[in-house]
Structure 1
Amino acid sequence: MPELIYLFYGNDMFLVENAVESLVKTLDVDPFNVLSYDLSEQSMDQLLQEMNTISFFADKKIIKVKSPWFFHEDKQDDLIPDLMRYFHNPNEDTTVIFMTAKPLDQGLQVTKEAKKYIRIEQVSDMDKDAFKPYVKKEFESIKYQIEDQAINELLERTNYDISLLNNEMAKLKLFAFDEKRISLKDIKQLVSRNLEENIFELTNAVVSKHKKRILEVYYDLLEKNEDPIRILSSISIKLKETIQTRQLLDKGYTQDMIASYFGVKSNKAYYMVKNAQQIKKSDLESLYERLSNLDYDIKSGRIDKKLGLELFLLEV
């Protein structure tokens, strides 16, 4: 017998929503009776009224609830006790599905009650090795051809972010609608990187001393008219994060704990841990100090900002 209340949570809302939609399909409820609430926009009072309302025109209904803040925020709300009472005695005609991409606060009373009375499902992140087959299958299922190099570039440019990846694939499908073929050139032309993604990739290349990739990403940033001072500052921030990651690893933190500490997704935490593990702490601190000195030299007029940063990257 299906449960009446579910809580789906994970690091990525796209994957959480996919898991919820898979459940909804199994419940065999008329789509007109599948309702959506977002507690960042609607009130708890509205939700509780809907949950307690018996439908006279249909046997069953589903209520999907986004942003259930009470599982991760200790906020005062007079209706929290009513919500917990509903956990004990739910409406038998209604299936309520809470969904969130934030970690649950295990110390909150609502979370403790939820663990006793409702079905909780943790949605795992997509494994990095599964991304390439996923992209290939998405295009092959609609008779599109995509080059292997194009897939690799697409994944690099979207930083293995499943939500961003799906948005970019939708754009590519429209672009290649007539020819049904996607090349590496198409990816470079259509899929842009934002500064955060570029800096993250540039820092990865600096830490791994991948000089070809360092220069590719750096010149890509210059072509987009990014200021070398801003690039330098952003690399410094990322290196500081890497040093902090190394310190957390030394304290026994796991990848998931590090993801939670920095508020990032598991795939990004994977690279943060990888970077922190593949270079000596003293080398990391040396890189950070050299960047700080370069920043001072540029701002004091001792060296041109573009030349100074380029020399630093060439000497890595």
Structure 2
Amino acid sequence: MILDIWKQIKSKQYSPIYLLYGTEAFLINETRQLLVKEVFQGEETDFNLSSYDLEETPIEEVLEEAETLPFLGEKRLIFVNNPYFLTAEKKKDKVEHNLSKFEAYLKEPSPFSILVVNAPYEKLDERKKLTKELKRVGQVLEAKKLNERELKGWIKQRASFNHVEIDDDAIDLMIVLAGTNLFMLTSELDKLALYTGEHQRINTEIVEKLVSRSLEQNIFTLVEKVVQRKIDEALRIYYDLLKQKEEPIKILAVITGQFRLIYQVKELSRRGYGQQQIAGFLKVHPFRIKMAAGQAKMFKDEDLIKIINMLADADYQMKTGAINKEMPIELFLFHL
């Protein structure tokens, strides 16, 4: 897993080749930053760090630098971006690449250079010899959206990376409160680790006390109160959001999106789709699908259609200025 690679980097166990591919930008950016931080000291960065765009620069120019001794340091760190030739995409080349030279370099990479191939694509063409060779000789990080099990494992490993432990129920609560965005979760975990101190344990009380609620998670809780028919508590959450200077039109958009998701999950489940399939089809994190599926059981189809129509009316009233922009959501909740 990603944190295993990070641990190796922190212990100075570098691979001469790294292949970072996928669409989860956070994981790729964190790995890049960690490499820069650990490989260099002081002014070494100025002389031995470089980055190339393979849509603009031929690969042989990159390899020439990789085979040049570092200046005032032990390692060169070279980031190679957008290697489109690793995909099945047909693209008119702006530059010509001598890929046979690249294959030869992979067989005997320079011992004083670290070559990081950054491929921000969902898939690579596994049939290509170059792709196979990169995966064989390099450290491979697949930066993809994590499913629920992987996300929980990542949180546990990230906590360990910060020299703390976290209870399983604290992980569940953290996802509910902070959402599934890795940038947000990392920030919250770093804060929790700082609060507890090294070699301590994070429990639900600490999470409840310190973790910031995202707008989406506050809206999820608001919708959960609607599901439970606790409209007074839903209104309280809404008023709290207004006090936090959240725009009513943004709040309405997130509420509408959540109810639309509930309806979509209910319909697709009826058609026989599993939660992982639904997540892929709707391009929504599996954890959100799981939560929406639980909420969907509390509504009949006609109820959801009526609610979505009410929200559309609220959106119209808000955008036309027919009434005070804070009132449409209040009226929606009172009507429920």
TM-score normalized with structure 2 length: 0.59
Q: Match for residue 57 of structure 1?
A: 69
Q: Match for residue 92 of structure 2?
A: 76
Cα RMSD for the two superposed structures: 5.3
- Report how far residue 262 of structure 1 moved: 5.1
Superposed, 1:210-289 pairs within 5 Å as: 211=230, 214-215=234-235, 217-244=237-264, 259=279, 264-268=284-288, 270-271=290-291, 279-289=299-309
Q: Match for residue 27 of structure 1?
A: none
- Cα distance in 1 for partners of 2:76, 2:272 equals 46
Consecutive unaligned residues of structure 1, counting only runs of 5 or more, are 25-29
- Cα distance in 2 for partners of 1:246, 1:89 equals 53
Is 1:90 the counterpart of 2:98? The answer is no
Is 1:293 the counterpart of 2:313? The answer is yes
Is 1:164 the counterpart of 2:180? The answer is no
Task: Determine helix, strand or coil for the equivalent of 2:259.
Answer: helix
**Aligned CA distance change for structure 1 residues 20 and 297 (closer, same or farther; 3 Å):** closer
- Cα distance in 1 for partners of 2:143, 2:230 equals 37
- Report how far residue 290 of structure 1 moved: 2.0
TM-score normalized with structure 1 length: 0.62
**Aligned CA distance change for structure 1 residues 3 and 223 (closer, same or farther; 3 Å):** closer
- Cα distance in 1 for partners of 2:172, 2:50 equals 37
Q: Deviations over 1:246-268 (max 9, x none)?
A: 56666776656655555555544
Amino acid across the alignment from 1:31: V
Q: Match for residue 123 of structure 2?
A: 104
Amino acid across the alignment from 2:257: I
- Report how far residue 287 of structure 1 moved: 1.7
Residue of 31, 48, 57 corresponding to 1:45: 57
- Cα distance in 2 for partners of 1:150, 1:61 equals 41
Residue of 195, 206, 224 corresponding to 1:205: 224
**Aligned CA distance change for structure 1 residues 137 and 57 (closer, same or farther; 3 Å):** closer
Instruction: Give the share of equivalent positions with the same residue, in percent.
Output: 26
- Cα distance in 1 for partners of 2:193, 2:118 equals 29
- Cα distance in 2 for partners of 1:260, 1:254 equals 10
Amino acid across the alignment from 2:242: L
Task: Determine helix, strand or coil for the equivalent of 2:57.
Answer: helix
Amino acid across the alignment from 1:51: L
Residue of 9, 34, 46 corresponding to 2:21: 9
Amino acid across the alignment from 2:117: F
Task: Determine helix, strand or coil for the equivalent of 1:89.
Answer: helix
Consecutive unaligned residues of structure 2, counting only runs of 5 or more, are 1-13
- Report how far residue 225 of structure 1 moved: 2.6
Matched residue count: 299
Maintained 8 Å contact 1:17/1:99: no
- Cα distance in 1 for partners of 2:177, 2:278 equals 23
Maintained 8 Å contact 1:131/1:160: no
- Cα distance in 2 for partners of 1:211, 1:121 equals 45
Task: Determine helix, strand or coil for the equivalent of 1:77.
Answer: coil
**Aligned CA distance change for structure 1 residues 137 and 273 (closer, same or farther; 3 Å):** same
**Aligned CA distance change for structure 1 residues 245 and 11 (closer, same or farther; 3 Å):** farther
- Report how far residue 211 of structure 1 moved: 3.5
Q: Deviations over 1:18-57 (max 9, x none)?
A: 78899x8xxxxx93599766667x8641765223445353
**Aligned CA distance change for structure 1 residues 239 and 77 (closer, same or farther; 3 Å):** farther
Amino acid across the alignment from 2:39: P
